[in-house]
Structure 1
Amino acid sequence: MITKIFALPVIEQIAPVLSRRQLDELDVIVVDHPQVRASVALQGAHLLSWKPAGEEEVLWLSNNTPFKNGKALRGGVPVCWPWFGPAEDKALPAHGFARNLPWTLSAHSEDASGVSLTFELQSSDETRKLWPHDFTLYARYKLGKTCEMELEAHGEFEVTSALHTYFNVGNIADVKVSGLGDIYIDKVLGGEKGQLTDGVQTFPDRTDRVYLAAEECSVIHDASLKRTIDVEHRHHSNVVGWNPGPALSASMGDMPDDGYKTFVCVETACVTTSQKASTDKPARLAATLRVAKNG
């Protein structure tokens, strides 16, 4: 799918290294820079891919996900906001509405090290039907050798949220994640609390854990691709580790049956503690991704 995005015809050349293209129903901003290749769907301000020069793709994107208006995309970095997980009202979309709505590209800049993009979403009659608050939400991406992501929410409200990042891995059986802390809520087991014995998460089957005291940096150890990825978290209360495992993966229409083998989700999140935004102080959630080692 990522290869397909970069082969799309250019609809608008925004800057020498920045263009707008279209995949099925959705507009995609494509970054083709000497230091980095990346792509972002305007729907959801959804980072689809990030590949620093000389590296393998860092993010995973499902080849089966439909690029349709209002349909959540599977892979990359979905923006979960203003709630994480299922809503209390089952008629409302899971993980909020921000990832299903079109955003605007409100600013961009380019230099020798990479590209910075700012996307904006504002409250509307449509959003107020789902959530009765006025807001302005910004998603900022600084894309180069590192990937810096930040959500900034203006208004007066409380939210839960996540940068639900899907990482490309060689084989989930060879993946370990460290820096998550010990105590977690196990959503596969209905919310039971658990504890890691050695501080390292592996993924032998379906895994869905909300970590309660993660370190500032989670590290993905990928033996198959012979690399580690640092995930630095900021303004978060939790880190979520997720992989659907074989049975759930096979049941998901927007994922290949064996899709679970080639990604792991390590999510910067505020799940157990909500974030407060006020007139004086916006709510923020941020992460920095870095490929730490090859060889």
Structure 2
Amino acid sequence: MTEKLFSLPVVNQISPYLSLRQLGELPVLVVSHPKVRAAVTLQGAQLIAWQPNGEKPVIWLSEKSAFAPGKAIRGGVPICWPWFGPAGEPAHGFARNQPWTLSAHDENEDCVLLTLELASNPQTKALWPHDFTLFARFRLGERCEIELEAHGDYQATCALHSYFCIDDINEVEVSGLGQPFIDKVKDGEPGTAADGRQRYAGRVDRIFTQPEDCSLIQDKAGQRVIKVYHHHHSDVVTWNPGVELSCSMGDMANEGYQTMVCVETARINAPMKSAVEQPARLATTFRVRKKR
């Protein structure tokens, strides 16, 4: 899927390293830089590719996603805001389904910088009554930084719902999660991970409520470690649908669960609180290290 993104026809060459292209029915910003390849859809300000030079793709994206206006994209890093999960309609909030605008961009020898913006409008007001302005900022280089900044006067739950490419879910372990968790597979039953680690023998959907500031995805089959740093967070969510749920999902291949894992920077149990002249923030940073 990643190779397809970078072979799409260029609609507009915005700058030497940044172009606008079309993926299905969606406009997508494509970064082709000596140190990195990346892509962000204008719908949802959603990162759908990040691949430092010399590395395999880091971000997982389903080829069965619709890539159509108003349809959630399966994969990448959806911005789940202003609620996480089924707290309202649509699930995981409306930010990921709304068209954002590119409000600023810059580039240098190390990275490309993007800022996308979404403001409250009649569509969002029909779903949620608050006035707001959101900024999603990306630093795309050998490391990937994503920051969400929320202006207004309200509180919201949120997650940067990051999907990562791995070689074999049966050989993946995520550490740095902390001990207590809420098990969503078991209807919110509390649990404890004695070693702060998670393995994936079947369907997993857990909210870790006392996580460390960095989660390590040990991709043993892929011979690399993906470091996921969390900023301004209260929780870290990890998810893999397992075989049965994967087979039932229309936007994921039956075997899709085998090559992805979600490790999500979140504010769920301690919502983001935005106030006038005091915006709330949630951010994450990704790095990759090859195993030797």
TM-score by length of 2: 0.99
**Which residue does the alignment assign to 2:254?**
257
Q: Which residue of 1 aligns with 2:239?
A: 242
> Aligned letter for 2:113?
S
CA distance in 2, matches of 1:57, 1:2: 7
Alignment of 1:137-152 (within 5 A): 137-152=134-149
Aligned AA (1:139): A
What displacement does 1:144 show? 0.3
Return the letter of the residue paired with 1:170.
D
TM-score (norm 1): 0.98
* Offset of residue 24 of structure 1: 1.6
CA–CA distance in structure 1, aligned partners of residues 23 and 51 of structure 2:
19
Residue identity matched to 2:42: L
- Cα shift at 1:2: 1.9
Indicate yes or no: 2:98 matched with 1:108.
no
Match of 1:287 in 2: 284
Determine the structure 1 residue equivalent to 2:176.
179
1:120 counterpart residue number:
117
Matched, 1:196 2:193: yes
SS of residue paired to 2:245? helix
**Does 2:25 match 1:25?**
yes
For 2:6 and 2:121, how far apart are their aligned partners in 1? 32
TM superposition shift of 1:186: 0.2
Report the alpha carbon displacement of residue 199 of structure 1 after superposing the two structures with TM.
2.1
Taking only the aligned residue pairs, the percentage that are identical comes to 58
Consecutive unaligned residues in structure 1, runs of 5 or more = none
Partners of 1:200 and 1:162 lie apart in 2 by 20
Task: Encode CA deviations 1:150-175: one digit per residue, 9 max, x unaligned.
Answer: 00000000000000000000000000
* Residue identity opposite 1:9 in structure 2: P
* Amino acid aligned to 2:12: E
Shift of 1:280: 2.3
Compare 248-257 and 1-10 and name the one that shifted more. 1-10
Output the CA distance in 1 between the equivalents of 2:143 and 2:188. 34
Q: Distance in 2 between matches of 1:128 and 1:6?
A: 36
Counterparts of 1:6 and 1:66, CA distance in 2: 18
Report runs of 4+ in structure 1 exceeding 6 Å deviation. Answer: none
Q: Secondary structure in 2 aligned to 1:70?
A: coil
Matches of 2:29 and 2:291, distance apart in 1:
28
Q: Structure 2, unaligned stretches of length 5 or more? A: none
Q: Which amino acid aligns with 1:165?
A: S
Figure out how many residues of one structure are paired with residues of the other and give that number: 292
Amino acid at match of 2:208: Y
Q: For residue 290 of structure 1, what is the amino acid of its counterpart?
A: R
Matched, 1:82 2:82: yes
1:80 CA displacement: 0.2
Corresponding residue SS for 2:10:
coil
1:206-233 per-position Cα deviation (integer Å, ceiling 9, x unaligned): 0000001000000000001100011110
Name the aligned partner's letter for residue 86 of structure 2.
P
Query: Does 2:207 align with 1:233?
Result: no
Query: Partner residue of 1:11?
Result: 11
Shift of 1:87: 2.3
2:59 maps to a residue whose letter is L
Write the distance in 2 (CA, Å) between the matches of 1:294 and 1:76: 24
> Distance in 1 between the 2:279 and 2:285 partners?
19
For 2:54, the equivalent position in structure 1 comes to 54
Distance 2:239 2:10 in 1: 35
Separation in structure 1 between the aligned mates of residue 185 and residue 43 of structure 2, nearest angstrom: 30
> How many Å separate the matches in 2 of 1:194 and 1:161?
22
Residues 1:160 and 2:157 aligned together = yes
SS class of match (1:188) = helix
Deviation at 1:273, TM superposition (A): 1.3
1:205 aligns with 2:202: yes
Amino acid at match of 2:8: L
Instruction: Report SS of the residue matched to 1:250.
Output: helix
| Residue 221 in structure 1 maps to residue 191 in structure 2 | no
Cα distance in 1 for residues equivalent to 2:19 and 2:179? 44
Residue type of the partner of 2:44? G
* Structure-2 separation of matches of 1:154 and 1:110: 26
Question: 2:104 aligns to what SS in structure 1?
Answer: strand
